[in-house]
Amino acid sequence: MAKVEVCIIVDYKLYNIFLEKNNYDVAVARTALEKYFAALIAMVNERYKEINEPRLSIKISLSDLWVAQSIMEASWVETHRNFLTNNVVGTHALESISKWLEDQKVLRKKYDHVMVFTGHPLVNERSKTIQGIAYVGEICHKSRSASLMHDMGKYQSAGVAAHELGHSLGAFHDGAVNNTACPPEQNYIMSPTEYGSNNGKLNYMYLSECSIKQITNVLR
């Protein structure tokens, strides 16, 4: 079994959202964050538990939770924020996160993948809204095994987190040039649109055969 230990990083904006919800009680907000992301990772794990492939078994677990206590501590997001729209350019922020991971001294526990959650909306370089972003096939790379997601509350990010982790594990979008055998309309985890949601098909809890094959090739 491949065990993937995830370190979650919460940016200052999202931390403040939890603080506000909990009457600015730091201890209560911290506990709320811990419970929220423990449950979210459990939801991600449920999706990967459903892999029906003898050669591939994956367990996702939470190894650590680090929370930015200031704008400066979340500079990898804040420096790429448009102060008029509050939108963050995902590709630029992910690059900064990767550079920060190369030299950071605050993450003490062992991890295989870093998930960064922000309270700011994410956009691509064409200013189109995105839910998350990750490097493809970099799960074994020290600083590039990372993903960035916009957390909108109520565990809506569980499907996004599973999708972006799939990229890090080596899966491309269903329907891409190298995945034409798996149409995106089937709504598996790695569908490029509406992932993590139920659009009438129940496949959003599962990886397609294309994704399973690609992840197996990376982890073997």
- For the stretch 66-117, pLDDT in tens is 999 999 999 999 999 999 999 999 999 999 999 999 999 999 899 999 999 9
**119 and 202 in a common domain:** no
113 is in an annotated binding site: no
pLDDT score, position 1: 85
The pLDDT, as a whole number, for residue 199 is 55
pLDDT value, residue 83: 92
Q: What is the signed CA dihedral for 24, 27, 32, 33, rounded to 10 degrees?
A: 90
Q: What is the pLDDT of residue 201?
A: 66
pTM over cut 0.75: yes
Structural domain harbouring 213: 173-219
Same domain, 105 and 212: no
Is 80 assigned to a binding site?
no
Same domain membership, residue 212 and residue 127: no
pLDDT at 136: 97
On whether 150 is known to bind a ligand per the annotation, the reply is no
**Residues forming the active site:** 164
**N residues, the chain:** 220
- Tokens representing 52? 């029906």
pLDDT of residue 53: 83
Domain boundary, last residue among 146, 170, 194: 170
pLDDT of residue 34: 98
Report whether pLDDT(21) > 60: yes
